[in-house]
Structure 1
Amino acid sequence: MSTDYQTIRATLGARLRELRTEAGMNGKDLAARLGWQASKVSRLELGKQTPTPEDLWEWAGAVGRPEVADELVARLNAVQTRYRTWRRQLAGGHSARQELAITVTANTRTIRGLEVSRIPGLFQTAEYARHVFTALAEFRQTPRDTEDAVRKRLQRQEALYEPGRRFRFLVWEGALQVLVCPRGVMAAQLDRLMSIVGLDSVELGIIPFSAELRRTPSHGFWIYDDHLVTVETINAEMWLDDKDSVDLYERAWNWLNESAVYGHQAHRLIARARASLGLY
């Protein structure tokens, strides 16, 4: 579970504890009034369990503050909006998530991103994307709608050719080496990446293994204009829109960008990765 999610849930728990103490009740008293186990009250207040909307309505009533129920539910919705489990997002497969990505991209003028282990989805070939979606569905044990997902991913890439849009991406050199697909597919993907370097709308920086870093590229993230950051973890995707989070990820991107190479230097690193595949 992500630290960001735990922090948000702990904040909600602290608010619940505040309401209980203001009502002059201890945890056992409240549990008895609600007909709950005392351990449930403790878990909710410590942020170790996510409450349901019904839990929050009952809590507000039990402490004599029914008017705060809407506030508590709004806080819960913020938790659930910012922390989206892959199990919930991919319940019907990857296609719906790709449809959402198309919408978000259409409403964004500048996207900045960092990828450390794979090629950014906006630059993927159909065959590379096919292997990525297949592996993810197997790992997360979600429905396979691979062909629909691939079509949606390629549809999203149409934004690369729309006037007025900018795509500024950083890719850790290791992502050029990771074989998530057969060598022939990877070779075609790297060829595609080299062609991307010349697009007017794209700034592609490669962070070399040998670069001196102010900030290590610990995980990938995408920044949409200056108001939203998405971060993928193994079990969930974070959608962060508070100013502090956006500022933090912008700083991380800027620091990493200091170590990236562009143009012919980036092209050389991609070509070196291509040559290491041993294919003609």
Structure 2
Amino acid sequence: MSSPSPRAQEAREAVASRLRDMRRDAGITGRELAARCRWSESKSSRIEHAKTPPSDADIRAWCDACEVPEQADDLIAANRQADSMYVQWKRLERTGLKRLQESGVPLYAQTRQFHVYCSNVVPGFFQTPGYANALLTSIAQFRGTPDDVTDAVKARMDRSHVIREGDHRFAVLIEESVLRYRIGSAEVMAAQLGHLLSVMALPSVSLGILPFTAPRQAWPLETFTVFDRQRVHVETLAAAIKETQPSDVALYLKAFGNLKDIAAFGSEARSLISAAIDAAG
């Protein structure tokens, strides 16, 4: 099945093309390769046409059948990279939410400059325990993941220390609607919004709010994070998408710049948050 991420599909097609060329260089047909690998001819065709992503074992069997086993490791690495560009949440969260929170710690620790745009919820590293608990509970119930919300909230809070520790800088843009979406109780929302007022005072943080009333040339986008201008993580309902192609990273940074141009900062941003606190009560 084709990946919904064009970049991931291109990477998979590149792997498939290399496997097809390998078979042709070996001078064997798809039927003969299938016989050597002891699988159906249709499977060979699906792999060659990037319809079915090959497993590590499939690639090793393919290389062995073409008598070039030394090429297997490189192809496996390329295939894994393509596979990691688009990963469904149900795969990432199959053992619960805690491990997903912990898996991001190394990347967060090594990143110096974050560019973050959120159109739906408060960014994870700005969340209070109460807000995170309400949000992660909703996610676990919606996706039917194992219930480890308490541990996942603790892991998220531990990961959030990055905003106060080390040499990190955070340029963050939040849609005003995020301030108004009720995640948890009124008390939880008021505490979360109050926390936003405190974190925006940190020297490492630049927080902008995109007002409802701002004239827009840049429409609301999906939530994304750019890490050190080198990679982008995009969150959709179904999956997490990673982009490392320089042109794609540049596109997200351009979008961030356009959104920043209409954002409110400083006292104006604090006024929008304070108004949302009053409304939450």
TM score, norm. by length of structure 1: 0.88
Task: Identify the range of structure 1 (191-200 vs 52-61) with the bigger mean alpha-carbon deviation.
Answer: 191-200
Relative to structure 1, is the Cα distance of residues 32 and 163 closer, same or farther in structure 2, using a 3 angstrom cutoff?
closer
Task: Identify the range of structure 1 (195-204 vs 236-245) with the bigger mean alpha-carbon deviation.
Answer: 236-245
Q: CA deviation at 1:271?
A: 2.5
1:208 matched residue in structure 2:
211
Counterpart amino acid of residue 243 in structure 1 = P
Query: 2:156 and 2:221 mapped to 1: Cα distance?
Result: 25
Query: 1:184 and 1:8 mapped to 2: Cα distance?
Result: 47
Q: CA deviation at 1:126?
A: 0.7
2:121 is paired with a residue whose SS is coil
Select 2:119's aligned residue among 116, 120, 123.
Answer: 116
Select 2:146's aligned residue among 140, 143, 147.
Answer: 143
Q: CA deviation at 1:214?
A: 4.0
1:248 matched residue in structure 2:
251
Relative to structure 1, is the Cα distance of residues 13 and 145 closer, same or farther in structure 2, using a 3 angstrom cutoff?
same
2:134 is paired with a residue whose SS is helix
2:101 matched residue in structure 1:
98
Query: 2:108 and 2:118 mapped to 1: Cα distance?
Result: 17
Select 1:264's aligned residue among 264, 267, 271.
Answer: 267
Q: CA deviation at 1:196?
A: 2.3
1:176 matched residue in structure 2:
179
Select 2:161's aligned residue among 155, 158, 162.
Answer: 158
In the alignment, structure 1 residue 130 sits paired with structure 2 residue 133: yes
Query: 1:21 and 1:217 mapped to 2: Cα distance?
Result: 47
Query: 1:203 and 1:217 mapped to 2: Cα distance?
Result: 19
Query: 2:68 and 2:168 mapped to 1: Cα distance?
Result: 49
Query: 2:158 and 2:182 mapped to 1: Cα distance?
Result: 24
Query: 2:221 and 2:27 mapped to 1: Cα distance?
Result: 45
Relative to structure 1, is the Cα distance of residues 130 and 258 closer, same or farther in structure 2, using a 3 angstrom cutoff?
same
Counterpart amino acid of residue 248 in structure 1 = L
1:16 matched residue in structure 2:
19
Task: Identify the range of structure 1 (206-215 vs 192-201) with the bigger mean alpha-carbon deviation.
Answer: 206-215
Query: 1:212 and 1:37 mapped to 2: Cα distance?
Result: 58
2:74 matched residue in structure 1:
71
Query: 2:108 and 2:72 mapped to 1: Cα distance?
Result: 35
1:60 matched residue in structure 2:
63
Relative to structure 1, is the Cα distance of residues 163 and 17 closer, same or farther in structure 2, using a 3 angstrom cutoff?
closer
1:239 is paired with a residue whose SS is strand
Query: 1:80 and 1:54 mapped to 2: Cα distance?
Result: 15
Query: 1:165 and 1:10 mapped to 2: Cα distance?
Result: 37
Q: CA deviation at 1:107?
A: 1.6
Q: CA deviation at 1:29?
A: 4.2
1:215 is paired with a residue whose SS is coil
Q: CA deviation at 1:33?
A: 4.1
Structure 1: unaligned runs, 5 residues or longer: none
- Matched pairs, number: 278
1:276 is paired with a residue whose SS is helix
1:82 matched residue in structure 2:
85
Query: 1:172 and 1:93 mapped to 2: Cα distance?
Result: 29
Query: 2:259 and 2:190 mapped to 1: Cα distance?
Result: 26
Q: CA deviation at 1:262?
A: 0.8
Counterpart amino acid of residue 226 in structure 1 = R
Q: Deviations over 1:189-225 (max 9, x none)?
A: 1122122222221111111233344432321111122
Task: Identify the range of structure 1 (130-139 vs 210-219) with the bigger mean alpha-carbon deviation.
Answer: 210-219
1:2 matched residue in structure 2:
4
Relative to structure 1, is the Cα distance of residues 210 and 148 closer, same or farther in structure 2, using a 3 angstrom cutoff?
same
Query: 1:15 and 1:211 mapped to 2: Cα distance?
Result: 49
What is the percentage of aligned positions where both structures have the same residue?
36
Relative to structure 1, is the Cα distance of residues 40 and 172 closer, same or farther in structure 2, using a 3 angstrom cutoff?
same
Q: CA deviation at 1:249?
A: 2.2
1:47 matched residue in structure 2:
50
